[in-house]
Structure formats: C-alpha cells, structure tokens
Structure 1
Amino acid sequence: MRGTPAGILLIRRIRGKDWSLTTYRYVVLLITFIAYACYHASRKPSSIVKSVLDPDPKKVNMVHPWPIGEFFVENELVGTEGNGLRDEGWAPFNGTDGTSKLGEIDVAFLACYSLGMYVAGHLGDTLDLRLFLTTGMIGSGIFVGLFGMGYFWNIHVFWFYLVMQMLAGLFQATGWPSVVAVIGNWFGKRKRGLIMGVWNAHTSVGNISGSLLAASVLDYGWGLSFILPGALIVLGGIIVYLFLAAYPEDVGFPCPHGFAGNSETVCNDEEAQIRKGDSVEVEKSAVPRFGSGNRKSVGLLEACLIPGVIPFALCLFFSKLVAYTFLYWLPFYLSQTAIGGEHISVKSAGNLSTLFDVGGIVGGILAGYISDKLKARATTAASFMYAAIPSMILYRSYGNISKTINIVLMMIAGLFVNGPYALITTAVSADLGTHSSLRGDARALATVTAIIDGTGSVGAALGPLLTGFLSTKGWDAVFCDAYDLCPYCWSSFIPFGDN
C-alpha cells in the first residue's frame, strides 16, 4: 500500500486521533476542488491577453463609463500603460495573421491536452494518483510560467510560445482523470449527480479566479498574467502532495465500491463508520488493505466497451467544442464588440467574461440535481444542449443592446452550455468508471474519464481553432457554427438513452 500523506500523518499526531470517514470525504472534496480550480485558473491567461498581443487599433485610447460599477469596467487609457505595448501588440501575434496565430496556440495546447488525456487516464489507474496529480500540477505551473517569461525575456519567436503551450497541455491532461478518479473512490452513486454538480463548480471558480488574477496584473506586463496562475497551480500541487488521500484504503477505510463486488455490504459498513465518527480508528486494522496499487487496471479498449462510454464521449465532443470556444474567445469578443454603443477595455472584458462561468456554476448544480431526480443523465444533458441554442442566439442578437442585458443573457448561455459539460465530465464519468460490468474487480475510473474527456478535448481543440479563422469573417459566423453543432449531442444519445 502507498504511504499515508505526510500532512495527514502530522495532523494525526497533533490531534492524537484520526478523522472520521465523513471528515476525510470533506477534505478530499476540498483538496480536489482546489486542485482543479488551479488547473483551470492556469488556462485562462491566454484568453485574457489575446487583445493585448493582437490589439484592435480602432479601440486605442477609448474611455468608457460603466453604470453597474467600476469592477467590470474601469476608466482607463488603453495604450498608455504597460510600456506602451497595449496598442502595439506583441510580435509575432500583432501581424495581419495574428488572430490565426492565437488560434493555433490554443489548438496546440488543446490537441496535446486531448492526446495526453488518453495516456494519462491509463496511468492514473496504474500509478499513485496523489503523486501523479502532484507531478502534473507542478509541471503545468512551470510551462505556464515559462510562457509568461517570454515577455520578460523579450522573445518574439512563434515556436517558443507554441512549444510552451504544447508541453503545458500534456501536463494539464493529468488533472481531470485524476480528480474524478479520486472522488469516485470516495463516493458511491447515491446523489452523485448533485454532489459532483456542486463540486464541479471548481471549473467555473478556476476560470473566474484565473481571469481576475490575469486581468489584475495586466498593466504590469502580460507576462505576469501567466506567471501568477502558474505559481498558483504549483502551490496547489504541494497541497495535494501533503494532504490528499487518493484511496480510502490508504488511510484505513474500505472503498465504497467494494473489492469483491458486494456493494450493498460495503455501503452498510460505510454508513456504520460514518456514525462511529472518530472511534473508527480502533477498528481500521480489520479493514482489508488492498491499497491503491493492488487492483488491476482496465485497458483502453475494454473501457470503450463499457455501455455508454462512446455515446457520452461523442456528446462531450460537441459540448466541449462550444464551451471552450467561449472559454478562450469570450474576453476577445467582448473587447471587440460595442455594448450599448460603447467598447470596453481589455481588462474590463476579462472581468466581465467571468459572469459566463457564474452561470456555469448554476448550470452544473442544476443539471446534477435534475439528473439525480429523474435518474436520466442522457436526457438531462441533451435537453440542456438544445436549450443552449436559443440562449446563444439571444446573446448574439440582443447582448449588444445594453450592458445589463448582455450580463443576463451571458449568464443564461453559461448555464445551458456548461450544464451538460459539467454533468458528463463528473457524475457520468464516475458512474461508468464503476459500472456493474466491471464486477468490482478492476479500476476504470481514470481510464473512462480520460476516454470521455479526451474525446471532448478534441472538440475543445477544434472550437478555438475554428473561431480563430471564422472570427476574421465576422462574429456571426462563429455563433452560427456553435448553433449548428449543439444538436449533434442529441444524436449521440439516440442509440443509448438513459440505460
């Protein structure tokens, strides 16, 4: 069995007794929440600095008031701060093909992320998840920070930024399969949709914090917008290493899915241990110590044959394509679109775009709750995607009327776009990774999560790439592309349903 994390050993020594199962679950939820929020925070800088690297000269030196408050739009002279680089841009992204180059940077990151996901999933079911996650977080932080150092080292070579993004993408691939596998190890299926819907708010919290952090230091040089989120994820990796118990067995508790396949007995034992609280320490020696390294992992092909894996993977392909188009390009869109007859600054656009993720938090929780009540994950996900179509049409058509209308419609679009994305990548992946066809004798959580999210990430790579090219023809072309792709999610479920 892998060792107990050093931080937990220290806490045991200080307290003189161990935590209860319930406390461990809360700690695992909190640490994995922080971990993946750090992952997403480190992905946001590239969307925030797009308009600095490739500015629109028509908007230089424009000052605009904002009736809702100074937080979202400040009165600032774009081009007079940051050593005058705001209006000049940054080679090689400030040329006539700058927007396309920014799209290529995004797709390089996401392509490596999606390819790395398939490998990371299998490794996550084979290696110690705590060490695997720690390595991924520290590696991600290093390469995100190195991208930002290009500003301070005055690097203007395209391949440097391309390589940094590709390497960052590979390390970022370690995150999602690992955190979902850890949560799946600690929680059974009861209310999993709601629990994971709330827990999945880490995606939006990470996007919001990453946007605000990157935008807050933009005036001191765009490089800091990468370095600070990079340092944040490294710190998160240290916390994971010290305090995350990846498997209940590693701290003396039985796995909620059992090892011999008797899930009902395990659930009863589990509830009994929750009631015992701190006294559970006395009886932990009787727990079979299968540990995190004794169960066999499932191969990629075998995981693909689990009922539902392929349909949900295809649905996530289209869902993530739309979601990541907003993730990477919404701040750029806001900075280049007149809202209420006025343009807003780059920094303000980054702050304003966080409200899309606020809607996403509500959408993830709502989708999880509805799917639990109806016991219909597929129908819930498909319904949200269909509702996303009119919400995006309304946002594009009427979002420029006023700032208040823009905010309301943006949050509604975020709710419907991120709802199915959150549901599929959390509760659905965990359900399928502990599917009855595995008979409780193998680990497939990280592998199944990687297949589903890896396929989705291929769509995530295509979305920003297509946007980079389509935006040169006008934003209507970008939104039409998003409308057209949403219905394909439903067709993915036709042969599957909610079984």
Structure 2
Amino acid sequence: MRSLAPGIKLITSFSRDSWYRFFILILTFVFYTTYHLSRKPISIVKSQLHRNCSNVIHPADLNITDNDTWCDWAPFDKNNYQNLFGVLDNCFLVAYAIGMFFSGMFGERLPLRYYLSSGMILSGLFTVLFGLGFYWQIHSLWYYCLVQALNGLVQTTGWPAVVACVGNWFGKGKRGFIMGIWNSHTSVGNILGSLIAGVYVSSSWGLSFIVPGIIIASAGVICFLFLVEKPEDVNCTLPQHHESVEQEPLLRNSSSNEEIFSTNTSTAVEPEEDHTEAISFCGALRIPGVVEFSLCLLFAKLVSYTFLYWLPLYIANVAHFDPKEAGDLSTLFDVGGIVGGILAGLISDYSGGRATTCCAMLIIAAPMLFLYNKIGQNGLPTTIGMLLWCGALVNGPYALITTAVSADLGTHECLRGNSRALSTVTAIIDGTGSIGAAIGPLLAGLISPTGWNNVFYMLIAADVLACLLLSRLVYKEVRGWCGYTTRQRGFKEI
C-alpha cells in the first residue's frame, strides 16, 4: 500500500477539533488586528496636521499670510495644537472606557457573531468619516471629536467578544502561551495601521483613515459569514477550564501533534453545569484578583497608549524625522510588544505566576523608559534597540493581563461552571485599563509643552504604581511556590 504524502499526513494528524480551534484563533486574530489597524492612523497623521511650515515648499500661486502655519490643517494650526490633539485622543478613549463597562454585559446577552460584526462595520464607517473630513474640507474640532467619540463607543464591541470567543474554545493548560501569540494582533494591527497610514500621510491624509476603515468593515462581513462562537455549535468537544492535580503532569509532558489545540478538551472529565444566568457587575468584581489586575492594567495601559498615540510625534520632534519615517520607526515598539507578549505568556505558563511575571517586567521597564529618553536618540541603532526593549517590557504585562489573566479570571473555579462570566470580566478589566488609556495621552498633551522629560517621568511613575498594585498577588504566588497553599470557597479566600 502506498504511503500518504508527508503534507497529507501532517494535515490528517490533527483532529477536527484541532482544525476548528486553529480556524477560530486565526479568525479572531484577524478581527482584532483590524480594530487596532483602524485606531493607529491618528497618531501618524498628527505630525502632518501640524508641521513647521517654514521648512515646506509652498505652491507659487498660494497667497501666504502666515509663514509658520500655512501648511497646517485648521483647527490644529494653533500654538496649543498639542492640547487639541490630547482632547481628540480623549474623545475616543473616554468613550471607549465608559462603553467598555457596558459592552461586556451586552456581550454576555447577545450573539457574539452579530455583536462583533456590527461593531466592526460601524467602526469602519466612523473611521472613514474622519478621513472624509480631508476631502470635505472640514475644519471643525467638534466634527472630529464627535466622530472619534462614536468610534470609541463601537470599538468596545471588539475586545470582550474576541476574548470570550477564544475562551470558549481553549482550555487553561497552554492559555498563556497561546494567547501570548494570539495577542500579537494588537501590535500587528498597530504596525499595519502605521504602514498604511504612512503611505498616504504626506499626500492625502484622508486616505490614511479611509483605507483602514474599509478594511475593518470588510472584516465585519467576514465575521458575520464565518465566526463560530462555541465548540458545541459545530459538535466539537468542550475545553477543560480547570486542571486537576492528576491531569497536570499529563498536560505538561504531552508531546503529541495536537498538544496546543486539543490536550485540554473535556473528553476525560465530566462536563460542568452551564448556568444560563449572566454574572452581575458586582459579582464579577468579587472574583479573586479582578480588582488588583484591573487597577494594574489602568497604569500599564496608560503607558502603552501614551506610546501608541504620541511616539511618532515624539520621534519626529526629538529625532527630526519626517512624518512617514517617524511612523515607520515607531512600529519597532510594536515589534518588541509581540515578543514581550509571547514571552510573558510562556513564562507565566511554566511558572504559574501571572502576577509575578507582570511585576518583574514592569520593574525592568521603569529604568528602560528612563534610558530611552536619555540615550534613545543617540544614533539609529540605539533608537532601534531601545524601542524594541521598551516595547517588549511595556506591552508584555499589558498583553498578559488582557488575554490569559482575563480568561483565567473569567473561568475561575469559584464561578462553578458559569460560562457566561468571561465577557463581563474581560470588559471590567479592559474597561478599567481604558481609563488609564484615556488619561495617559491627555496628560502627555498637557505635559509635553513643558518638555518631553516630564512626560517620561509620568510614565515611569505609572509603571511603579502598576507594580505596587500587584504586590499582594505576587506575595501569594511566592508563598505558593514555597509550599504554602490557600483554599477558596465561593468568592472568599480562607
């Protein structure tokens, strides 16, 4: 009998469950990549909306009344343009933070496929409307603020929905590593958004928004056509969310081809009861660890989003690159974020210390931010190296908390099998973090006129506070490694 081709052997070595899990992982990766792809253009376009016009060659037939601002886009042609940029960022981020606390509850009660696809289509519409301001010659700050606020609201559909979907399909055993890789969609989206926006920023900055808007709206259509919310919808086995002591060695020593996708299925265990009642907001807050990780994420996301919205402008101002070059160089921060997220997930899986992993990376990040501000512009190699290091250390904890930690807490053993808590817990954690995401860029806009050094001192202080908020959980994890154990009954620790 003839042997099968090696490629066919590889394909057939994976089960039907494995292929579905892989398909959902790729699909949700693409969906949230488009969310971040559509958020990034504003940071690239900022340096085009307000430039040093004295260095720009103007058309011969143009009657110039002010040589310093003729090339700027009103209303950002004023001396307080940095404050206006901060207000613009905050319209998106405050709306996002407020909406996120309600989005999780909607996500628990509505079909994820409809919820996610409608959110992406609406987000595409508002992103396109921002870009059309260029072609419609709109110079009203209120127009751009309104569009950003509405976009922030509809973008809250993304994170709780994709995390809930992935949590439905994957068990706990390799969650940190899998979600560390999967969470690179954030950085991939930022990179693609920067590159796409950079193509049009110097010629027609409206296309820097219109093209990403079309992309995310198209992804919404794909979501409606192909997303499968739960394994039982296609007769796949359910994931096991809680490992027993007897199963743990088996999971860690498994070396089959299906280890990543199917070692955590529930074929060997009794399925848990699935409660139909969604968890309340207060009930989710009582899950051990939710409050600490939420507050930690507030400060971690403050740092990450300040870089997201202000790094290209910082590079352009300090290192004197043009808008496209500054945008391209800023993508290195996100490249480092990909590596940091994967390492954080991998280390926390093998150590069992989610909080300790986050705290260690945040501790190292604080002096690294100080060094980047002091020596980061001393030559291109130094800039590249420091951006990669800062990206890994800043985005690593942020990625771990918003993915593996959120999924762990949303399927916590104290929930006793309630599978409808994941979206609410994810929304609480990311919603709290989004408050920091709103505060960071606003503070950067207010502080940057006094000097970029003060902005970095603010970021370092936020990093230190994020570490301190995890100290109790780190202490518990260290005690566990030393042989001390705690029992949990319901929502209370004894």
TM-score interval w.r.t. the shorter chain? 0.7 to 0.9
- 1:149 equivalent in structure 2: 132
Relative to structure 1, the CA distance from residue 248 to residue 264 in structure 2 (aligned partners, 3 Å threshold; closer, same or farther) is farther
Pick the aligned partner of 2:26 from 4, 26, 30. Answer: 30
The reply on whether 1:132 has 2:109 as its aligned counterpart is no
* Residue 330 (structure 2) aligned to one of 353, 357, 362: 353
Secondary structure at the counterpart of residue 318 of structure 2: coil
Q: Which runs of 5+ in 2 are unaligned?
A: 1-13, 259-266, 478-494
Deviation at 1:297, TM superposition (A): 1.1
Aligned counterparts, 1:232-247, within 5 A: 232-247=215-230
Deviation at 1:266, TM superposition (A): 12
| Aligned position for 1:88 | 71
User: Are 1:52 and 1:86, in contact at CA under 8 Å, matched by a contact in 2?
Assistant: no
1:249 matched residue in structure 2: 232
Give 1:494 shift.
2.3
The separation in 2 between residues aligned to 1:289 and 1:149, in whole angstroms, is 51
- CA pair 290-495 structure 1, distance change in 2 beyond 3 A: closer
The Cα offsets for residues 286-313 of structure 1, whole Å up to 9 and x where unpaired, read as: x99999xx83211111001000000000
Match of 1:117 in 2: 100
User: Do the aligned partners of 2:197 and 2:207 also contact (CA within 8 Å) in 1?
Assistant: yes
Return the match for 1:476 from 453, 468, 476.
Answer: 453
* 1:315-354 equivalences in 2 (<5 Å): 315-338=296-319, 343-354=320-331
Give per-residue Cα distances to partners, 1:410-462, cap 9 Å, x unaligned: 11110100000000000000000000000003411110000000000000000
Number of residue pairs matched? Answer: 443
In structure 2, C-alpha distance between the alignment counterparts of 1:356 and 1:392, rounded to whole Å: 12
Where do 4+ consecutive residues of structure 1 move more than 4 Å? 83-87, 261-268, 287-291
Q: What is the match of residue 39 of structure 1?
A: 35
In structure 2, the CA distance between the partners of 1:226 and 1:190, relative to structure 1 (3 Å rule), is same
Which segments of 5 or more consecutive residues in structure 1 lack a partner in the other structure?
A: 1-17, 62-76, 276-283
Change over 3 Å in CA distance of 1:264–1:397 after alignment to 2: closer
TM-score scaled by length of structure 2: 0.85
Q: Which residue of 1 aligns with 2:291?
A: 310
Matching residue within 444, 455, 462 for 1:467? 444
Q: Is the 8 A contact 1:134 1:240 kept in 2?
A: yes
Q: Which position in structure 1 is the counterpart of 2:359?
A: 382
Instruction: State the distance in 1 between where 2:413 and 2:137 align.
Output: 56
Matches within 5 A, 1:436-455: 436-455=413-432
Partner of 1:299: 280
What does the per-residue CA deviation read over 1:179-237, in whole Å, with 9 as the maximum and x for residues that have no partner?
A: 11111000000011011001111000000000000011123311110111111101111
**Residue 54 of structure 1: which of 37, 50, 55 is its match?**
50
- Asked if the contact 2:53–2:72 (Cα under 8 Å) also holds between the matched residues in 1, the reply is no
Give the aligned CA root-mean-square deviation in angstroms.
Answer: 2.8
Q: Which amino acid aligns with 2:128?
A: G
Cα distance in 1, alignment partners of residues 15 and 443 from structure 2: 50
Match of 1:74 in 2: none
Write out aligned runs for 1:384-399 (5 A): 384-399=361-376
- The residue that corresponds to 1:372 in the other structure is 349
Cα displacement string for residues 223-263 of structure 1 (whole angstroms, at most 9, x for unaligned residues): 110111111101111111111111111111243148xx998
Distance 1:355 1:366 in 2: 17
Cα separation, 2, equivalents of 1:289 and 1:129: 22
Could you say what secondary structure the match of 2:472 adopts? Answer: coil
Task: Work out which of the residue numbers 192, 195, 199 in structure 2 matches 1:216.
Answer: 199
Give 1:202's aligned amino acid: H
Percentage of pairs with the same residue:
49
1:216 and 1:80 mapped to 2: Cα distance? 22
After superposition, give the CA deviation of every residue in 1:462-492 in whole Å (9 maximum; x if it has no partner). 0000001111111111111111111111221
